[in-house]
Amino acid sequence: MAASKEQTKIILIGFIAIFCCSIFTDGDKIGVNYGMLGDNLPPADQVVTLINNNNIGKTRIFAANRDALNAFANSGIDVIVGVGNEELEAISSSQDSANGWVNNNIVPFYPATNIKYIAVGNEVLPSTQYVSYLFPAMTNIQTAVQNANLQNNIKVSTTHVMGVTNGFPPSQGVFGDDVKDTMNSILKFLSDNGAPYMANVYPYFSYTGSGGSITLDYALFKSTSTVVTDNGRSYTNLFDAMVDTVISAMENLGYPNVPIVITESGWPSAGADAATVENAQSYNNNLIQHILSNAGTPKRSGTSIETYIFALFNENTKTGDEIERHFGLFNADQSPAYSVNFSP
C-alpha cells in the first residue's frame, strides 16, 4: 500500500534526524592534550568525565600513566600515548626494551582503552640530545606493536615542532638541511606503516616572533579577507598556512599522501605579550569551529584535520616561561578558564 503524505513526511524527518546525528561522529570531535604537571589536578576518572561532558572525543597523554589509561577504558575517547624522551635511548638500543614498553603500557589496556597512536618522543628534532635515538626507537616500537599483532589498530609516529620546516609562502615549505635525512627516513616509515605526521602548530609563537609582520587577526582566525595568496590558494588564517607549509615540505621529499595530525595547538591566556583571556578564547573557539567544519586547508581542501588543543588544564608545576602554565582550557578545579564551545 502506498504511504500517505503524512507517513512519507514522518519517514523523511526520521531519516534526516538519523543522518544529522550520524555525520557528527567521534571522528569529528576535537582533541585535547591532558598534561599532568600540576599538584592540584583532579583524579583521572574525573578528567574522563570532564572530557566527555564537553563533547571532546580524543586526548593525548605524554606518558603511559596507568591511572589515566585505566580511567579511559570504555569511555569512547581516542587516546595518544607518549613515549618520554628520556626513554628513547634504552628503547632505541634494545628490541627487548621496546617489547617490554609495549607489553607493559599498551597491551594490558587495549582495546578497552582505545589507544589510537603511540607518539615516540616529543619535539626531539631538530636539536635535542635525543636525536640519534629517535628513529631507531620508532622502528623498535613499531616492531613491538607488530609482535603484539596491533599494527592495524595502533599507529606509531613522533611529534615535531614547526622549526623543522622553513619557507614562505606555504608552497615553498621545506625541511631544514639539519633534519632532512632523518625526516626522509621518518616519512618513509610513516608512509610504509600508514601512520600520520604529527605536528605541533602554534600561530601564537609565529605571531609574537614576527616583529609585527603578522597581524593578530590573521593569527586568531579573524581576518575577513585573503591575507596570503599562493599559487592560486587563498589564506585567511595563519594556522592553515603553517599546516600547508608542513604538507609542502613532505611533498618536496616525495611524500604527498602522508596524513597530518595536529598534536598541539593553543594560545596562552596570561604570562606574555598577546597572552590574554580574550585572545585565548578567540583562538581556541575559532580553531575548534574551523576543524569541526571539515574545511581542511587550501592544499587539502575538504579533508578533516585531526587536532588536539594544548592544553586541558593550567598546570602549575610546569617549568619554563610563565606562559607555559597558562595554556589550559580549564582550571585545576575543573571550572572553565574561559568559555569554549566544543561542538559545531
User: What DSSP element (H or E) covers 238?
Assistant: helix 238-252
CA distance 260 to 305: 7
Contact assessment for residue 142 and residue 151, using Cβ atoms and an 8 Å cutoff: yes
Instruction: Give Cα 341 distance to the centre of its chain.
Output: 18
> Which residues are paired to 58 by β-bridges?
31, 78
Contact assessment for residue 36 and residue 328, using Cβ atoms and an 8 Å cutoff: no
315 catalytic residue (yes or no)? no
324 catalytic residue (yes or no)? no
Contact assessment for residue 198 and residue 158, using Cβ atoms and an 8 Å cutoff: yes
Could you give the C-alpha distances from 174 to 13, 251, 265, 300, in angstroms and in order?
A: 50, 9, 21, 17
Dihedrals phi, psi of 192, to nearest 5 degrees: -65, -30
Contact assessment for residue 33 and residue 3, using Cβ atoms and an 8 Å cutoff: no
Supply the angle between the helices 95-105 and 131-147 in degrees, to the nearest 10. 60
Dihedrals phi, psi of 63, to nearest 5 degrees: -150, 165
Residue of 86, 87, 251, 264 with catalytic role: 264
Contact assessment for residue 33 and residue 311, using Cβ atoms and an 8 Å cutoff: yes
Is 236 in a helix, a strand, or coil? coil
Radius of gyration of the chain (CA): 21
Residue of 123, 251, 278, 322 with catalytic role: 123
The residues annotated with a catalytic role in the active site are 123, 264
